[in-house]
Amino acid sequence: MLIEHGYYRRLSINISCRDLDIPELPQLFVSLSKKFGVPLHLVSIELTESVMVTDYPKLKQLFDDLSNCGVEVSIDDYGTGYSSLNYLSELPFTELKIDKTFVQNIVRSQRKQNIVRATVDMAHSLGVMVVAEGVEDKETEAMLKSFHVDVGQGYFYAKPLPFEQYKEMLRRLEPSPQAQWDIASTARG
């Protein structure tokens, strides 16, 4: 429906450990993409770090297959689970989402600032986009921007919205350069 209204926004889909057992999962995304007219380059699969402790060869194959289909893969809630630099060096993902626990109160915590800054530098050196979850105020946003975080997400911009209100927000924000940060909230429904 967003595409029909001229809004080409990325669709992020969280998947769980159980979803990894769906036979031919990448082909399912290709099929659904065609059925609903959503270009695959607008689809991003979000896997939490905890998913990465499952069968590594199977996970690597899934990442490769999704990537080969044109589906982007995001590591969600980074820093809260079983971070492994080996996973980061081997898996073809395009986005790293820093968990809100590292973003909340970052303005008053030098340790959190150091962790976020180092994470951003590492991710960018791998050619990966960085999203910071849990942005709740202007000071936090300003600090994250100074660390070169690519996208902010959180209640500072909007809480989950019904579809019509989300479309209205997109219409208001679209012309603004601030839009990349502001429209990272999700539509409800």
Domain regions of the chain by residue span? 3-188
Report the predicted TM-score, pTM, of the whole model to 2 decimal places. Answer: 0.77
What is the dotted CATH code of the domain comprising 3-188?
3.20.20.450
The pLDDT of residue 54 is: 63
- State both tokens at 156: 């500072």
Which residues, including other chains, have CB under 8 Å from residue 69's CB and lie 6 or more apart? Answer: 26, 27, 29, 30, 40
Question: Mean of the pLDDT values across residues 165-180?
Answer: 70
Quick: pLDDT tens for 24-60: 889 998 999 999 988 888 888 888 766 666 667 778 8
Cα–Cα dist 62/81, whole Å: 20
Quick: pLDDT tens for 80-137: 655 567 677 778 889 999 999 999 999 999 999 999 999 999 999 999 999 999 999 9
* Contact of 124 with 83, CB cutoff 8 Å: no
The pLDDT of residue 170 is: 84
The pLDDT of residue 97 is: 92
The pLDDT of residue 177 is: 44
Among 105, 111, 114, 173, which residue's Cα sits nearest to residue 139? 105
**Count of CB atoms situated within 10 Å of the CB of 75:** 26
